[in-house]
């Protein structure tokens, strides 16, 4: 459980300290107040990549400290140079140690993290974790690795000596070239985004300046005053006054947002040149070794393994062929067993999700899990169907037929895909193909709740899980979060009062300014302050909205 979070000079958080406590903690505040800085700070201290742009204006460094109950105190600092340092209980440690601690203690469900579940590869790991099949999957991965290694050595052994020498020379050059480049997964995409931003920095700053001038010149106050005069003379025009007030507020918010954005943009010709040179290097490597950085890194691993195999000429082909046959049979049995266990677990997951969706007011929605495998002459024998769907109306699985040689990876034989139908009678489709709006938010929450019911207690963070959810469904989302919080510590950023009412405690994020600087503050609300904040979220503080806020709290409790 996260016991304390301290943030110093991180973006707009100049000095924030909070103690979330057990159960459900909610964070509210106006749009643009900086609510998501809590999620960003947590991601940073647990190892997420961030650049010097997170250092507050005028500060030399940003520091985030997280105290884990019964565990270590983690600290991460980043300076204007872009270099970061990590500490655990005051001692310098590699960043990987913070990442490992985070993996064991916290799940962060921001927008990008939630979208991860839309990828089939992630869905397969989720299913294994839900079913407790990590050990079985690790066995399959080990056997697959051994089989591939034996096959590589066999290929190398069958290569004549002259060809082997030429190949050793070629592989040595290739491995050295790739290793010297020190590539990082996803680096090319990040560099291209940075290059685009740096190249357009001058024009962006010009556009920002033009927008600010236009906003300053816009007579929004005069417009609002004129419309208020109209409304004072005609009760039927009251809605026009509301729209005029929104126009004035929106113009003010946009001006502030433009100033904040302007502060994040800078022209840096030296960095632009360095990024271009780095991209040129990656482009040369891509032409030789793969379409993506990940493929280049995979090529390096394969080349290193082939090089090691070529250096070992003391083995006999006959012994390796015997070992290959043995591993192929063992892998086929282990992978088939894992596939059957996954299908059984999928049926339980489908039923559990159905129950949780019922609680969330989505009784018409359902999850199905599709399983597929492919033929491969170099695969392993397995008696599995080409494609099978485990759904709500799933009957007993068909008896295994004749085994075929199936393609395998370290994850086994299966291609797994979560399929969803949001309405009765609709054919299930891939989750990634139908993901949108409030229904998806609730569906992903149901999935998190079901997976969390079997997981060890930890901290779960949601960044606006109620995105696209209305007030009526918001109460159901709040109740689901409260149920999840009975086992885990849950932190939730929300814009819905119906969700916020379910929090055991509520923090408010407010933006402050002294005219020269702007910063965000986070403070724990008292009961009376909480009623006022919920009333404001309901549309404005008044006697009626305060009464409604009290009713929300009473209903939630």
What's the longest Cα–Cα distance across the chain?
100
Q: How far apart are CA 294 and CA 298, in angstroms?
A: 6
**390, 369 Cβ separation under 8 angstroms:** yes
CATH 3.40.50.300 at 2-110+464-524, yes or no? yes
| First CA to last CA distance, the chain | 23
Whole-angstrom distance, CA of residue 311 vs CA of residue 168: 8
How high is the pLDDT of residue 114?
47
Taking the chain (557 residues) in consecutive chunks of 10 residues, what is each chunk's mean pLDDT?
A: 93 91 92 83 90 90 93 93 93 92 81 61 88 95 96 81 79 93 87 82 78 79 82 82 84 84 78 88 91 90 86 69 95 96 94 88 88 94 92 64 90 94 85 66 81 79 75 83 90 91 94 84 93 91 91 89
Alpha-carbon dihedral sign for residues 493, 494, 499, 504: positive
Yes or no: say if 35 and 28 are a contact pair by the CB < 8 Å rule: yes
HSE, side-chain direction, 13 A CA sphere, residue 26: 27
pLDDT value of position 517 = 84
Q: How many CB atoms lie within 10 A of CB 511?
A: 16
Q: Characterize the bridge pairing of strands 375-382 and 505-513.
A: unpaired
**Residues 456 and 104: beta-carbon distance below 8 Å:** no
Rounded Cα distance, 138 and 134, in Å: 6
pTM of the complete model beyond 0.75: no
- Are 110 and 492 contacting, i.e. CB atoms less than 8 angstroms apart? no
Helices and strands per DSSP (H, E), number in the chain: 19, 18
Q: What's the pLDDT score for residue 110?
A: 62
3-state secondary structure of 401: coil
User: What span, in angstroms and rounded, lies between the C-alpha atoms of 115 and 350?
Assistant: 20
CA atoms within 13 A on the CB side of 194: 22
Q: Which residue's structure tokens are 């800085």?
A: 37
pLDDT of residue 34: 79
Count Cβ atoms within 10 A of the Cβ of residue 283 and give its class: 0-12 exposed, 13-18 middle, 19 or more buried.
exposed
C-beta of residue 530 within 8 angstroms of C-beta of residue 554: no
**Closest listed residue to residue 113, CA positions, set 181, 48, 33, 196:** 48
DSSP letter assigned to residue 409: B
DSSP annotation string for 62-78: EEEEEEETTSPEEEEEE
The continuous run of DSSP H or E covering 518 comes out as strand 518-524
DSSP annotation string for 24-60: EEEEE--TTS-TTHHHHHHHHHTT----GGGBPTT-S
Position 2 scores a pLDDT of: 92
Residue-level pLDDT at 19: 93
Domain boundaries, the chain: 2-110+464-524, 118-178+314-434, 192-273
DSSP 3-state of 5: strand
Q: Are 3 and 19 in contact (CB under 8 A)?
A: yes
């Amino acid at each position: 459980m996260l016991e304390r979070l301290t943030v110093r000079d991180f973006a707009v958080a100049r000095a924030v300290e909070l103690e979330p406590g057990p159960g459900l903690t909610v964070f509210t505040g106006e749009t643009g107040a900086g609510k998501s800085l809590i999620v960003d700070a947590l991601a940073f201290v647990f190892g997420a990549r961030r650049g010097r742009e997170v250092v507050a204006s005028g500060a030399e460094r940003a520091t985030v400290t997280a105290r884990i109950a019964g565990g270590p105190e983690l600290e991460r600092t980043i300076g204007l140079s872009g270099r970061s340092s990590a500490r655990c209980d005051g001692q310098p440690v590699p960043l990987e140690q913070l990442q490992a601690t985070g993996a064991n203690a916290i799940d962060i469900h921001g927008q990008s993290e939630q979208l991860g579940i839309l990828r089939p590869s992630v869905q397969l790991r989720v299913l294994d974790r839900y079913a407790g099949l990590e050990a079985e999957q690790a066995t399959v991965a080990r056997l697959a690795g051994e089989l591939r290694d034996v096959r590589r050595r066999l290929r190398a052994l069958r290569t004549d000596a002259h060809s082997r020498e030429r190949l050793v020379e070629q592989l040595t050059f290739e491995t050295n070239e790739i290793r010297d480049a020190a590539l990082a997964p996803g680096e090319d995409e990040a560099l291209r985004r940075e290059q685009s931003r740096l190249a357009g920095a001058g024009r962006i700053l010009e556009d920002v300046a033009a927008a600010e001038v236009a906003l300053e010149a816009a007579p929004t106050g005069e417009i609002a005053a004129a419309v208020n005069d109209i409304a004072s003379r005609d009760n039927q025009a009251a809605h026009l006054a509301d729209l005029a007030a929104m126009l004035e507020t929106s113009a003010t918010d946009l001006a502030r947002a433009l100033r904040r954005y302007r502060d994040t943009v800078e022209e840096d010709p030296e960095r632009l040149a360095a990024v271009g040179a780095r991209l040129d290097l990656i482009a040369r490597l891509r032409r030789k070794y793969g379409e993506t950085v990940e493929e280049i890194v995979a090529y390096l691993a394969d080349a290193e393994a082939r090089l090691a195999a070529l250096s070992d000429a003391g083995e006999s082909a006959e012994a390796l062929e015997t070992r290959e046959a043995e591993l192929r049979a063992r892998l086929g049995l282990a992978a088939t067993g894992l596939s059957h266990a996954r299908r059984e677990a999928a049926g339980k997951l489908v039923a559990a999700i159905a129950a949780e969706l019922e609680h969330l007011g989505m009784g018409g929605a359902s999850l199905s899990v599709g399983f597929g495998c492919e033929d491969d002459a170099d695969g392993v024998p397995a008696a599995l169907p080409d494609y099978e769907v485990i759904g709500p109306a799933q009957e007993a699985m068909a008896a295994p037929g004749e085994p075929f040689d199936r393609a395998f990876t370290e994850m086994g034989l299966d291609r797994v895909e979560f399929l969803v139908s949001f309405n009765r009678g609709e054919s299930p489709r891939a989750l990634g193909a139908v993901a949108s709006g409030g229904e998806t938010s609730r569906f992903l929450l149901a999935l998190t709740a079901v997976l969390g019911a079997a997981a060890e207690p930890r901290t779960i963070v949601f960044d606006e899980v109620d995105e696209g959810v209305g007030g009526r469904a918001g109460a159901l989302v709040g109740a689901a979060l409260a149920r999840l919080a009975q086992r885990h510590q849950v932190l939730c950023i929300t814009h819905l009062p119906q969700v916020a009412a379910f929090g055991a405690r509520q923090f408010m994020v407010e933006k402050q300014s002294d005219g020269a600087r702007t910063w965000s503050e986070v403070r724990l609300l008292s009961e009376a302050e909480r009623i006022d904040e919920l009333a404001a979220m309901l549309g404005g503080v008044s006697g009626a909205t305060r009464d409604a806020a009290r009713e929300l709290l009473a209903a939630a409790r």
